[in-house]
Amino acid sequence: MFDNLQRKLEKAFKTLKGQGKINDLNVAETVKEIRRALISADVNFKVAKEFTDKVLEEARGKNVLTAVSPGQLLTKIVYDELVELLGGQQSELKLSGSPAVILIAGLQGSGKTTFTGKLGFLNRRVKIRCWLPVMFTDPPPANS
């Protein structure tokens, strides 16, 4: 899912390559592609529209510095808006209880195991012991 989103976002930013200034026409085209990419990644339409409207408002009329291309500038604007959309600041993981329980759920292939491994590695670095019990409510059928 994220690979598809990444490909579509890269395609959207390619339209700005070689441009000297961000103008309304190329920004509108890029923002439309970003909105399509977000919607195809199952982002709520209202959230995608609000996000792209903020990006469009921020990008309109910005002059491109000589060291930065329009694609890089719009990438920075999109990154800043994504950070703001996802909370804007980093917060610590608060583990309470003994043992602390973290439920990780998601679709098949969405990266739960990878995320859990990284979380376990992070906790090991700060001297927290981790267990990783696994439960499949509906396991895939065995190949014979």
- Residue 9: other Cβ atoms inside 10 A: 18
Read off the pLDDT of residues 79-108 as tens digits, 9 standing for 90 and up: 888 888 888 787 777 777 777 788 888 877
Q: Nearest Cα to 57, choosing from 36, 86, 80, 89?
A: 80
The distance from CA 143 to its chain's CA centroid, rounded to whole angstroms, is 34
pLDDT at 20 (0 to 100):
61
Greater confidence (129 vs 140) lies with 129
More confident residue, 10 or 19: 10
When pLDDT is cut at 50, 70 and 90, the band that residue 50 belongs to is very high
